[in-house]
Amino acid sequence: MGDIARQAPEKDTGEDIYQYLLERITNLENRNLELREQYRQMESEKRYVETQKIRYERELRKLKSEIEQLRSPPLVIGTVTDVIDNSRVIVRSSAGPRFLVRTSQLIDPDLLKPGVRCTLNQQSLAIVDVLPTSYDAQIYGMELVESPEETYENIGGLEAQIEEIREAVELPLTKPHLFEKVGISPPKGVLLYGPPGTGKTLLARAVAHQTNAHFLRVVGSELVQKYIGEGARLVRELFDLAKQKAPSIIFIDEIDAIGAHRNDSTTSGDREVQRTLMQLLAEMDGFDNRGDVKIVAATNRIDILDRALLRPGRFDRMIEIPLPDHQGRLAILKIHTRNMNIGEDVNLAEISRLTEGKNGADLRAICMEAGMFAIRMERDVVNSEDFMKAIDKLSVDFDRHHFHTTFGEMFA
Ligand SMILES: Nc1ncnc2c1ncn2[C@@H]1O[C@H](COP(=O)(O)OP(=O)(O)OP(=O)(O)O)[C@@H](O)[C@H]1O
Ligand SMILES: [Mg+2]
């Protein structure tokens, strides 16, 4: 454009001026377009910056209100003990004393029931909010989130027992109408009993794997607590949570820890255990309908269990898990050698015959020991000799162990 401006005075003819002006006009038009484009861009940039500004302002307000909240004094936690009318409520603050307080109108009066936890204003102790019921952290730990890997296929020689437990636990949860039609109520609790190491815990793990219900598992000794009433509270909360999450299955392993005969024992520890048991009895057939909550328990000392636990209405299905017989041992050996590299000379039926009286855990140990012998000899195939050595080693170990315990008892 500068060039054109400089050349303009040299050309005098009308034609030239005309040409010159034409060029100038197109140039100016182009320029105009350019500027308009720039204007549009600026305009959109401005809009963007404006929205940005609004966003920052909103954030600022949020942060300010958060600071405000952080600065506000803490609320006192209390428990509602009595509701007099819609605006007056008696609460017990966490410190102990009881107060007659007012409630906020924003609180749904239906939520205010004796026993509910709530937050109170520090000065007026007016009820500010109603808190959801919460359970002991230990109770939440009992809920099984990831299901175990064991399936019914991992259990050898217990087909009849598997059938029975499925019937008693899964059927009522999956096909309740069958029981309605026949007109009976399904069994409430299932007790697995038998010698140690025969697969009781394993069976429960398989049930947990297979079922779609919530699974809560607890070991009996976990329910034995240090302070009076704590064990009973844990049992109550366990059943509450199970009810809330229904359909659910509660599995109590080693139930003899709390379920032993009640006697006239005088130590306070024993009495606490008895209180826990009584709570369990009450929960199992108390006033409250348990809904879709099934209870499975396991023990290897059914002889010391309290009779009240075993009566119909509580553990009304008792499944004996016996020591495996020849066929059972063979099935268990097959399961535990499934992933092993075993030689062709290994005769599992023969091993099963030689391990009369051994339980599932022993058989697994034999397989593992046989593998260890093979590794020691730097072989990658486990042969018959390894198994024989493993059987010998295990029976020797067992005898020595037995000797030690009697030895210990003599000096105890
Ligand atoms: N029937 C079985 N089939 C396959 N493996 C078994 C069987 N029984 C026991 N086992 C093996 O033994 C291990 C221990 O079994 P489990 O923990 O179920 O014993 P338990 O009956 O609960 O004993 P306890 O009464 O001492 O608690 C299992 O992890 C499993 O590897
Ligand atoms: Mg067990």
Instruction: Say what the pLDDT of residue 1 is.
Output: 47
From residue 285, how far is each of 186, 290, 315, 367 by CA, in Å?
A: 13, 8, 10, 44
Instruction: Say what the pLDDT of residue 64 is.
Output: 94
* Average pLDDT of the chain to the nearest whole number: 85
- Beta carbon of 286 within 6 Å of any ligand 1 atom: no
The best mutation among 221, 364, 368, 394 to test binding of ligand 1, ranked by most ligand atoms within 8 Å of the C-beta, falls on 364
Cβ–Cβ under 8 Å, residues 77 and 125: no
Instruction: Say what the pLDDT of residue 8 is.
Output: 52
Name residue 199's amino acid: G
- Least confident span in 97-101, 104-108, 163-167, 327-331: 104-108
Of residues 401 and 186, more confidently modeled: 186
For residues 3-27, give the mean pLDDT: 77
Residue nearest to atom 29 of ligand 1 (CA): 202
Would you place residue 48 in the very low, low, confident or very high pLDDT band (cuts 50, 70, 90)? very high
Say if residue 96 is exposed, middle or buried (CB neighbours under 10 Å; 0-12, 13-18, 19+). Answer: exposed
Cβ–Cβ under 8 Å, residues 167 and 271: no
**Dihedral through CA 402, CA 404, CA 409, CA 412, nearest 10?**
-160
Instruction: Say what the pLDDT of residue 409 is.
Output: 45
pLDDT in tens, 71-107: 888 888 888 888 888 788 898 877 778 889 888 888 8
Instruction: Say what the pLDDT of residue 14 is.
Output: 85
- pLDDT above 90 for 32: yes
Cα 253 from chain centroid (whole Å)? 16
- Report how far ligand 1's centroid is from the alpha carbon of 155 (Å): 9
Reduced to 3 states (helix: H, G, I; strand: E, B; else coil), residue 129 is strand
> Does the reported pTM lie above 0.85?
no
Instruction: Say what the pLDDT of residue 30 is.
Output: 96
Nearest to 240 by CA among 178, 190, 282: 282
- Report how far ligand 2's centroid is from the alpha carbon of 130 (Å): 42
- Report how far ligand 1's centroid is from the alpha carbon of 110 (Å): 50
* Nearest-angstrom CA–CA distance, 121 and 237: 28
Instruction: Say what the pLDDT of residue 265 is.
Output: 65
Instruction: Say what the pLDDT of residue 23 is.
Output: 94
- Beta carbon of 202 within 6 Å of any ligand 1 atom: yes
- Report how far ligand 2's centroid is from the alpha carbon of 319 (Å): 14
Range of 119-123, 133-137, 162-166, 167-171 with top mean pLDDT: 162-166
For residues 16-33, give the mean pLDDT: 94
Atom of ligand 1 nearest to the CA of 254: 27
Instruction: Say what the pLDDT of residue 326 is.
Output: 92
- pLDDT above 50 for 406: no
Name residue 122's amino acid: Q
- Least confident span in 110-124, 300-314, 393-407: 393-407
Contacts of 133 (CB under 8 A, 6+ apart): 116, 117, 240
Would you place residue 121 in the very low, low, confident or very high pLDDT band (cuts 50, 70, 90)? confident
What percent of the chain shows pLDDT beyond 90? Answer: 34
pLDDT in tens, 264-285: 666 777 888 888 888 888 888 7
- Beta carbon of 220 within 6 Å of any ligand 1 atom: no
- Report how far ligand 1's centroid is from the alpha carbon of 215 (Å): 19
Instruction: Say what the pLDDT of residue 193 is.
Output: 94
pLDDT in tens, 200-241: 999 998 988 888 888 888 998 888 887 777 888 888 888 888
Would you place residue 399 in the very low, low, confident or very high pLDDT band (cuts 50, 70, 90)? low
**Dihedral through CA 308, CA 312, CA 316, CA 318, nearest 10?**
60
What percent of the chain shows pLDDT beyond 70? Answer: 91
Instruction: Say what the pLDDT of residue 337 is.
Output: 92
The best mutation among 149, 165, 192, 202 to test binding of ligand 1, ranked by most ligand atoms within 8 Å of the C-beta, falls on 202
Residue with token string 């366990």: 238
Nearest ligand for residue 327 CA = 1
Cα 31 from chain centroid (whole Å)? 71
For residues 38-45, give the mean pLDDT: 96
For residues 177-189, give the mean pLDDT: 86
Cβ–Cβ under 8 Å, residues 214 and 242: yes
Nearest to 80 by CA among 122, 45, 40, 126: 126
- Beta carbon of 199 within 6 Å of any ligand 1 atom: yes
Instruction: Say what the pLDDT of residue 411 is.
Output: 44
Total Cβ atoms within 10 A of residue 44: 10
